[in-house]
C-alpha cells in the first residue's frame, strides 16, 4: 500500500506562521495500532504501514504574496461545507497572507466556459457569517466535466492551489485533474477535503457532516417512536441516507435506542418466509403493539433496484422506503391485522442543516490542515482523520474502495444487541 504524498517541488520559503508547532514530513501515524500487526510486519522485514502527519511545515513552496487559490464544492449537500470554505479562506488570509482566493460556482461546471458561471471572490468579509448557513455559498452540481477544460481554466486564472470539497465523484475528478496537470508539467497543487455524509470514505475514521446527520437522524427516530406508540399497531418507518454503507442508520439507532429493526446495505435480508422480515415484524406487532424501523437508502436493493446510473456515475437506487411501506401495508392487510404506519424520509432536511458544534470544529481542522498541505507544495492528496490524528492520504489510495459497516464488528454487534433483531435470512 503506497502512502507516499506527491510534491510539486522542494519547499524553500520560510513559513510566515509564528508561534505554531510545525510538523516534519518524516512524522508518521501508524495505520494499524495493534502491537501484534506491527511486530508481524517487522518480523517479515517490512516497515509498518503509516500515513503522513498533517500540520504546518517550517518551509513552504508557494510565495503567499503572489499566490492565487481556488475553492470548489461538488456533489450533494452536506452539513459543514460552509465551515470548510470559511476555514480555508481564514487560514489562507490570516495565517499565510494570501489575498487572492476564488470561489468556483456550481461545482466543476464553474470551470467550463459554456455554463457562464462567474467566480466569487472569497475574502474574510464575504465569508464572515456563512458558518451559520446550511449548504454551500458556492453552489454545487453533479456529473463529469471535461478535465482538459478544467485545467485550461486553472491555467488561465493562474491558480496555484485548488481545494476540492466533495465526495467519491469529486475525489476521482481531482485525481484526473492531477494527472492532466502532471502531463502538462504545470505547478498546480490539488488538495481534497473528502465529503460524504455516509461516512464511507476509505482510510478515514469519519467524514465531516456525519455527526450532524446522526444527531438529526436520532431525533427523527425518536419522533417515529412517539408516532408508533400513539396508535394501535403503530409502525414508524424511517429512511435514512446510506447508499452503500449503513453508518448513519446504525449510529442513529444506537444514539436513540428506540429502533426495533435496522436494515442496512451490508446485511442482506429476506422479506418472505418464516424467518423473513415481514414475519418477524408481524410477531413484534402482535406482541408489543408497535415498532420502529430504520432503513438505509441502499438496503434491500434486490427488491427495488433502479436502472442505470445517476449524474455522478453511481448506480441508481430504487426507493426502499416506499417499497417497504407498501410491502408492509399489503402484508398486514392480507393478514387482516389493523395497522397504523407513518413513513418519514428526512434526507434532504438532514443534509441541508447547519453543522453541529462538533462537526464545525472538525471542519476547521480539516480545512486548516488542507491549507498547510497546499502551501507546502503537496498535491494529489486528501486530508483526513485516522487514529485520532489528522493525516495526509494519497487520492489514489482513497479511491480504491468504500468503507462499510463490519458485520462482525462492534458497531453492528451493538445494533443487534440493542434491537434484538435476527438476521431475516433462511438458515
The DSSP annotation for 50-85 comes to EEEEPS--SEESS-GGG-EEEEEE-SS--TTHHHHH
Task: Please say if the pLDDT value at position 427 is more than 60.
Answer: no
The CA angle 375-170-182, to the nearest 5 degrees, is 55
Active-site entry in 129, 198, 359, 406: 198
Phi, psi of 196 (to 5 degrees): -155, 125
- Give the residue-averaged pLDDT of 254-268: 95
Instruction: Examine the residue annotation and report whether 198 is marked as an active-site residue of this protein.
Output: yes
Do 6-207+355-386 and 210-352+407-419 fold alike per CATH?
Answer: yes
Q: Which residues are annotated as a binding site?
A: 76, 142-143, 167-170, 196-198, 241-243, 297, 348-351
For residue range 92-104, list pLDDT tens digits in order.
Answer: 999 999 999 999 9
The single residue listed with the C-alpha cell 444487541 is 417
Q: How far is CA 271 from CA 55, 277, 396, in A?
A: 50, 5, 39
Dmax (CA) for the chain in angstroms is 78
In the chain, where are the structural domains located?
6-207+355-386, 210-352+407-419
Calpha distance 169→166 (Å, rounded): 7
Q: Which residues are annotated as a binding site for Mg(2+)?
A: 168
pLDDT in tens, 308-324: 766 666 778 999 999 99
What was the pLDDT predicted at 31?
A: 82
Residue numbering of the annotated binding site for ATP = 76, 142-143, 167-170
Q: Where are the alpha helices (DSSP H) in 5-54?
A: 35-43
CATH code that applies to domain 210-352+407-419? 3.40.50.460
What are 128-175's pLDDT values in tens digits? 999 998 899 999 998 889 999 999 999 999 999 999 998 888 999 999
Instruction: Report pLDDT for 198.
Output: 86
- Which position has the grid cell 461538488? 74
Task: From the options 3.30.2130.10, 3.30.420.40, 1.10.1750.10, 3.40.50.450, give the CATH code of 6-207+355-386.
Answer: 3.40.50.450
Give CA 271 to chain center in angstroms: 30
What pLDDT score does 47 carry?
80
Of all residues in the chain, the percent with pLDDT exceeding 90 is: 77
Amino acid at each position: 500500500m503506497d502512502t507516499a504524498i506527491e510534491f510539486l517541488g522542494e519547499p524553500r520559503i520560510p513559513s510566515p506562521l509564528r508561534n505554531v508547532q510545525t510538523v516534519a514530513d518524516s512524522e508518521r501515524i501508524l495505520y494499524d495500532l495493534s502491537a501484534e500487526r506491527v511486530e508481524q510486519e517487522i518480523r517479515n522485514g517490512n516497515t509498518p504501514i503509516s500515513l503522513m502527519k498533517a500540520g504546518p511545515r517550517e518551509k513552504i513552496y508557494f510565495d503567499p504574496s503572489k499566490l492565487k487559490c481556488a475553492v470548489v464544492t461538488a456533489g450533494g449537500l452536506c452539513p459543514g461545507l460552509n465551515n470548510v470554505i470559511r476555514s480555508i479562506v481564514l487560514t489562507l488570509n490570516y495565517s499565510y497572507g494570501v489575498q487572492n482566493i476564488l470561489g468556483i460556482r456550481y461545482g466543476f461546471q464553474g470551470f467550463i466556459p459554456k455554463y457562464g458561471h462567474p467566480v466569487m471572490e472569497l475574502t474574510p468579509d464575504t465569508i464572515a457569517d456563512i458558518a451559520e448557513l446550511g449548504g454551500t455559498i458556492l453552489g454545487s452540481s453533479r456529473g463529469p466535466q471535461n478535465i482538459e477544460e478544467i485545467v485550461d481554466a486553472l491555467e488561465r486564472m493562474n491558480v496555484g492551489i485548488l481545494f476540492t470539497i466533495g465526495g467519491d465523484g469529486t475525489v476521482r475528478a481531482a485525481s484526473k485533474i492531477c494527472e492532466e496537470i502532471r502531463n502538462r508539467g504545470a505547478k498546480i497543487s490539488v488538495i481534497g477535503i473528502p465529503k460524504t455524509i455516509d461516512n464511507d470514505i476509505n482510510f478515514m475514521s469519519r467524514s465531516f457532516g456525519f455527526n450532524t446527520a446522526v444527531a438529526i437522524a436520532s431525533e427523527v427516530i425518536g419522533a417515529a417512536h412517539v408516532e408508533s406508540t400513539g396508535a394501535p399497531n403503530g409502525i414508524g418507518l424511517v429512511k435514512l441516507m446510506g447508499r452503500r454503507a449503513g453508518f448513519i442508520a446504525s449510529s442513529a439507532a444506537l444514539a436513540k435506542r428506540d429502533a426495533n429493526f435496522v436494515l442496512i446495505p451490508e446485511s442482506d435480508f429476506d422479506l418472505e418466509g418464516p424467518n423473513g422480515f415481514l414475519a418477524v415484524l408481524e410477531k413484534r406487532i402482535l406482541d408489543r403493539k408497535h415498532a420502529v424501523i430504520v432503513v438505509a437508502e441502499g438496503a434491500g436493493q434486490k427488491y427495488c433496484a433502479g436502472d442505470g446510473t445517476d449524474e455522478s456515475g453511481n448506480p441508481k437506487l430504487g426507493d426502499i422506503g416506499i417499497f417497504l411501506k407498501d410491502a408492509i401495508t399489503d402484508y398486514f392487510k392480507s393478514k387482516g391485522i389493523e395497522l397504523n404506519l407513518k413513513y418519514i424520509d428526512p434526507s434532504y432536511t438532514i443534509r441541508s442543516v447547519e453543522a453541529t458544534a462538533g462537526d464545525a470544529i472538525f471542519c476547521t481542522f480539516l480545512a486548516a490542515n488542507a491549507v498547510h498541505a497546499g502551501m507546502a507544495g503537496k498535491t494529489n492528496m486528501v486530508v483526513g482523520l485516522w487514529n485520532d490524528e489528522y493525516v495526509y492520504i494519497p487520492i489514489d489510495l482513497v479511491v480504491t474502495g468504500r468503507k462499510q459497516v463490519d458485520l462482525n464488528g462492534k458497531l453492528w454487534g451493538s445494533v443487534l444487541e440493542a434491537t434484538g433483531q435476527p438476521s431475516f435470512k433462511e438458515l
